[in-house]
Amino acid sequence: MNIGLIAHDNRKEDLLAWVEHNVKILGRHRMTCTGTTGKLIESLFLSKKIDPVIKKLKSGPLGGDQQMGSRISSDRIDMLVFFWDPMAAQPHDPDVKALLRLSVVYNIPTACNRSTADYLISSPLFDNKAYVVMKKDYSKYINREVK
């Protein structure tokens, strides 16, 4: 499984605490992270003497959120954990909204807080390789007649 991990500055500690709590489970999977978040998560894993498989993208405001969205739309992300900060405006708010929109369009399990992330990682479906994400058929939209 490829898990997308993102946290805004005021939520990085929360995400790191969640990752540390689940380090053994997450260590069995590939992770794709935006810039600084990826560096922090990689350091956490290495401090536990676990060599993680982490792809680090650009920082969110520099295009990392858009890179993550691209990976979602090309079926390269299976689950997204995005601890965004609801108390602070972000300079890249349109990118944040677009990323969350894509996670819904492509039916990617998405957690924006620790409780939801806990539910996802503890679900019997989490490590179930037989589970197939149902994708909505957008062919009517794609093939609509434009006037």
As annotated, the active-site residues are 65
Neighbouring residues of 95: CB distance < 8 A, sequence distance ≥ 6: 60, 61, 63, 65, 66, 69
Tell me how many helices (H) and strands (E) the chain has. 7, 5
Helix (H, G, I), strand (E, B) or coil at 3: strand
Neighbouring residues of 6: CB distance < 8 A, sequence distance ≥ 6: 15, 33, 34, 37, 60, 64, 65, 68, 80, 81, 82, 83, 84, 99
Q: H or E stretch including 103?
A: helix 93-105
